[in-house]
Homo-oligomer: A and B are copies of this chain.
Amino acid sequence: MLRPARRGINGITMLLYFLDLAGVAVFAVSGALAAGRLGLDLLGVLVLASLTAIGGGTLRDVLMNRHPVFWMARPTYLLVICAAALGTVLYVQVLPIPAHALLIADALGLALFALSGAQLAEAARLSPIIVVLMGTMTGVAGGVMRDICSNQIPLLLRQDIYASAAIAGIALYLVLKALGLREAWAFWIGVLVVVTLRLSAIFLGWSLPVFQIPKG
Protein backbone atom coordinates (compact mmCIF):
# COMPACT_ATOMS: atom_id res chain seq x y z
CA MET A 1 0.00 0.00 0.00
CA LEU A 2 2.75 2.30 1.05
CA ARG A 3 5.91 2.38 -1.03
CA PRO A 4 8.52 4.96 -0.03
CA ALA A 5 12.16 4.52 -0.98
CA ARG A 6 13.87 1.46 0.51
CA ARG A 7 16.02 3.48 2.89
CA GLY A 8 12.93 5.32 4.10
CA ILE A 9 11.19 2.05 4.99
CA ASN A 10 14.13 0.75 6.95
CA GLY A 11 14.70 4.02 8.77
CA ILE A 12 11.06 4.48 9.74
CA THR A 13 10.64 0.79 10.55
CA MET A 14 13.61 0.72 12.89
CA LEU A 15 12.69 4.01 14.54
CA LEU A 16 9.11 2.86 15.08
CA TYR A 17 10.34 -0.44 16.42
CA PHE A 18 12.48 1.18 19.09
CA LEU A 19 9.79 3.72 19.92
CA ASP A 20 7.24 0.98 20.31
CA LEU A 21 9.66 -0.90 22.57
CA ALA A 22 10.26 2.19 24.70
CA GLY A 23 6.58 3.09 24.86
CA VAL A 24 5.68 -0.49 25.70
CA ALA A 25 8.22 -0.55 28.54
CA VAL A 26 7.03 2.64 30.24
CA PHE A 27 3.37 1.74 29.87
CA ALA A 28 4.13 -1.70 31.31
CA VAL A 29 5.63 -0.01 34.35
CA SER A 30 2.53 2.15 34.75
CA GLY A 31 0.29 -0.91 34.39
CA ALA A 32 2.33 -2.83 36.97
CA LEU A 33 2.06 0.07 39.41
CA ALA A 34 -1.71 0.21 38.90
CA ALA A 35 -1.85 -3.56 39.53
CA GLY A 36 0.10 -3.04 42.73
CA ARG A 37 -2.49 -0.56 43.95
CA LEU A 38 -5.19 -3.14 43.27
CA GLY A 39 -3.27 -5.91 45.02
CA LEU A 40 -3.32 -8.27 42.03
CA ASP A 41 -1.35 -11.50 42.04
CA LEU A 42 1.86 -11.75 40.07
CA LEU A 43 0.35 -13.05 36.85
CA GLY A 44 -2.41 -10.47 37.13
CA VAL A 45 0.34 -7.86 37.21
CA LEU A 46 1.66 -9.23 33.92
CA VAL A 47 -1.79 -9.13 32.36
CA LEU A 48 -2.55 -5.55 33.37
CA ALA A 49 0.95 -4.45 32.36
CA SER A 50 0.52 -6.14 28.96
CA LEU A 51 -2.90 -4.63 28.40
CA THR A 52 -1.64 -1.14 29.16
CA ALA A 53 1.48 -1.59 27.09
CA ILE A 54 -0.03 -3.02 23.92
CA GLY A 55 -3.48 -1.40 24.05
CA GLY A 56 -2.72 1.76 22.12
CA GLY A 57 -0.53 0.19 19.45
CA THR A 58 -2.99 -2.65 18.96
CA LEU A 59 -5.85 -0.22 18.39
CA ARG A 60 -3.67 1.69 15.93
CA ASP A 61 -2.76 -1.46 13.99
CA VAL A 62 -6.31 -2.84 13.89
CA LEU A 63 -7.77 0.48 12.75
CA MET A 64 -5.13 0.90 10.09
CA ASN A 65 -5.37 -2.73 9.01
CA ARG A 66 -1.71 -3.43 9.75
CA HIS A 67 -1.29 -7.16 10.24
CA PRO A 68 0.23 -8.90 12.03
CA VAL A 69 -0.38 -6.55 14.95
CA PHE A 70 2.98 -5.22 16.18
CA TRP A 71 3.45 -7.45 19.23
CA MET A 72 2.52 -10.61 17.37
CA ALA A 73 5.35 -10.41 14.88
CA ARG A 74 8.13 -10.20 17.47
CA PRO A 75 8.23 -11.81 20.93
CA THR A 76 10.65 -9.08 22.02
CA TYR A 77 7.75 -6.84 22.97
CA LEU A 78 6.32 -9.30 25.43
CA LEU A 79 9.73 -10.04 26.89
CA VAL A 80 10.23 -6.31 27.44
CA ILE A 81 6.81 -6.11 29.11
CA CYS A 82 7.60 -9.05 31.41
CA ALA A 83 10.97 -7.54 32.29
CA ALA A 84 9.49 -4.11 32.96
CA ALA A 85 6.64 -5.51 35.06
CA LEU A 86 8.81 -7.85 37.11
CA GLY A 87 11.44 -5.14 37.49
CA THR A 88 8.76 -2.87 38.90
CA VAL A 89 7.60 -5.55 41.33
CA LEU A 90 11.17 -6.14 42.55
CA TYR A 91 12.06 -2.46 42.71
CA VAL A 92 9.06 -1.73 44.88
CA GLN A 93 10.17 -4.35 47.42
CA VAL A 94 13.42 -2.59 48.18
CA LEU A 95 13.04 1.08 47.37
CA PRO A 96 10.19 3.52 47.79
CA ILE A 97 8.33 4.44 44.59
CA PRO A 98 9.20 7.94 43.42
CA ALA A 99 6.23 10.25 43.85
CA HIS A 100 4.08 10.38 40.72
CA ALA A 101 5.92 7.40 39.20
CA LEU A 102 2.77 6.12 37.53
CA LEU A 103 1.92 9.55 36.12
CA ILE A 104 5.42 10.07 34.75
CA ALA A 105 5.60 6.63 33.13
CA ASP A 106 2.18 7.30 31.68
CA ALA A 107 3.30 10.68 30.29
CA LEU A 108 6.27 9.11 28.50
CA GLY A 109 4.13 6.34 27.05
CA LEU A 110 1.52 8.85 25.94
CA ALA A 111 4.11 10.95 24.13
CA LEU A 112 5.89 8.07 22.38
CA PHE A 113 2.72 6.36 21.18
CA ALA A 114 1.00 9.59 20.18
CA LEU A 115 3.85 10.56 17.90
CA SER A 116 4.41 7.07 16.52
CA GLY A 117 0.70 6.69 15.78
CA ALA A 118 0.73 10.05 14.04
CA GLN A 119 3.78 9.11 12.00
CA LEU A 120 2.18 5.88 10.79
CA ALA A 121 -1.06 7.64 9.91
CA GLU A 122 0.96 10.20 7.99
CA ALA A 123 2.83 7.46 6.14
CA ALA A 124 -0.56 6.11 5.04
CA ARG A 125 -1.25 9.57 3.55
CA LEU A 126 -4.22 10.33 5.77
CA SER A 127 -5.20 13.98 6.07
CA PRO A 128 -3.72 16.07 8.93
CA ILE A 129 -6.84 16.15 11.13
CA ILE A 130 -7.04 12.35 10.94
CA VAL A 131 -3.33 12.06 11.69
CA VAL A 132 -3.95 14.05 14.87
CA LEU A 133 -6.89 11.89 15.93
CA MET A 134 -5.12 8.62 15.16
CA GLY A 135 -2.04 9.70 17.10
CA THR A 136 -4.11 10.84 20.05
CA MET A 137 -6.08 7.60 20.14
CA THR A 138 -2.87 5.56 19.94
CA GLY A 139 -1.40 7.54 22.79
CA VAL A 140 -4.36 7.44 25.15
CA ALA A 141 -5.86 3.98 24.51
CA GLY A 142 -3.48 1.91 26.63
CA GLY A 143 -3.89 4.16 29.64
CA VAL A 144 -7.65 4.28 29.23
CA MET A 145 -7.83 0.48 29.16
CA ARG A 146 -5.63 0.31 32.27
CA ASP A 147 -7.83 2.80 34.10
CA ILE A 148 -11.14 1.23 33.04
CA CYS A 149 -9.95 -2.24 34.03
CA SER A 150 -8.77 -0.83 37.37
CA ASN A 151 -12.18 0.77 37.81
CA GLN A 152 -10.63 4.24 37.93
CA ILE A 153 -11.89 7.32 36.15
CA PRO A 154 -9.57 7.43 33.12
CA LEU A 155 -6.69 9.91 33.45
CA LEU A 156 -7.93 11.08 30.06
CA LEU A 157 -10.98 12.54 31.77
CA ARG A 158 -9.38 14.25 34.73
CA GLN A 159 -9.29 17.98 34.48
CA ASP A 160 -5.64 18.49 33.75
CA ILE A 161 -4.04 18.52 30.32
CA TYR A 162 -3.98 15.02 28.84
CA ALA A 163 -5.42 14.48 25.38
CA SER A 164 -4.65 18.15 24.89
CA ALA A 165 -0.95 17.47 25.36
CA ALA A 166 -1.04 14.76 22.70
CA ILE A 167 -2.99 16.95 20.28
CA ALA A 168 -0.61 19.88 20.78
CA GLY A 169 2.51 17.74 20.32
CA ILE A 170 1.23 16.08 17.17
CA ALA A 171 0.03 19.36 15.68
CA LEU A 172 3.41 20.95 16.33
CA TYR A 173 5.13 17.96 14.71
CA LEU A 174 3.01 18.40 11.58
CA VAL A 175 3.60 22.15 11.45
CA LEU A 176 7.36 21.80 11.91
CA LYS A 177 7.53 19.23 9.14
CA ALA A 178 5.44 21.43 6.86
CA LEU A 179 7.93 24.25 7.57
CA GLY A 180 10.72 22.02 6.30
CA LEU A 181 12.26 20.71 9.50
CA ARG A 182 13.71 17.21 9.29
CA GLU A 183 11.28 14.49 10.35
CA ALA A 184 13.41 13.15 13.21
CA TRP A 185 13.79 16.63 14.73
CA ALA A 186 10.10 17.37 14.39
CA PHE A 187 9.34 14.00 15.96
CA TRP A 188 11.45 14.53 19.06
CA ILE A 189 10.28 18.09 19.53
CA GLY A 190 6.73 16.75 19.42
CA VAL A 191 7.54 14.11 22.04
CA LEU A 192 9.21 16.73 24.23
CA VAL A 193 6.18 19.02 24.00
CA VAL A 194 3.76 16.26 25.01
CA VAL A 195 5.89 15.25 28.00
CA THR A 196 6.47 18.86 29.06
CA LEU A 197 2.80 19.75 28.89
CA ARG A 198 1.80 16.65 30.86
CA LEU A 199 4.43 17.20 33.53
CA SER A 200 3.50 20.87 33.78
CA ALA A 201 -0.10 19.84 34.30
CA ILE A 202 0.96 17.41 37.01
CA PHE A 203 3.54 19.51 38.86
CA LEU A 204 2.43 23.07 38.14
CA GLY A 205 -1.28 22.44 38.05
CA TRP A 206 -1.67 23.77 34.50
CA SER A 207 -5.02 23.26 32.88
CA LEU A 208 -7.12 24.47 29.99
CA PRO A 209 -10.39 26.37 30.21
CA VAL A 210 -13.05 23.91 31.27
CA PHE A 211 -16.40 23.36 29.60
CA GLN A 212 -18.96 23.63 32.36
CA ILE A 213 -22.65 23.46 31.63
CA PRO A 214 -24.11 26.53 33.37
CA LYS A 215 -26.56 25.61 36.10
CA GLY A 216 -30.06 27.02 36.21
Contact = CB atoms under 8 A, between A and B. Distances in A.
Interface residues of A, number: 68
A36 B72 CA distance: 38
Interface of A: 32-33, 35-48, 50, 58, 62-65, 67-69, 71-72, 75, 78-79, 82, 89, 92-93, 96-97, 126-127, 129-130, 133-134, 136, 140, 144, 148-151, 153-154, 156-157, 159, 161-164, 167, 207-214, 216
Contact of A75 (B45, B96, B127): B127
13 contacts: A35-B211, A40-B157, A41-B159, A41-B161, A42-B208, A42-B211, A47-B136, A63-B69, A65-B67, A72-B126, A78-B133, A97-B213, A144-B149
B149 A92 contact: no
Contacts of A36: 211-213
Contacts of A127: 75
Given A41-B164, A144-B149, A156 B47 contact: yes
Given A41-B208, A42-B164, A144-B149, 19 more contacts: A32-B211, A36-B211, A40-B157, A41-B207, A43-B167, A46-B167, A63-B69, A64-B72, A65-B68, A71-B130, A75-B127, A75-B129, A75-B130, A78-B130, A92-B213, A92-B214, A93-B214, A96-B214, A149-B156
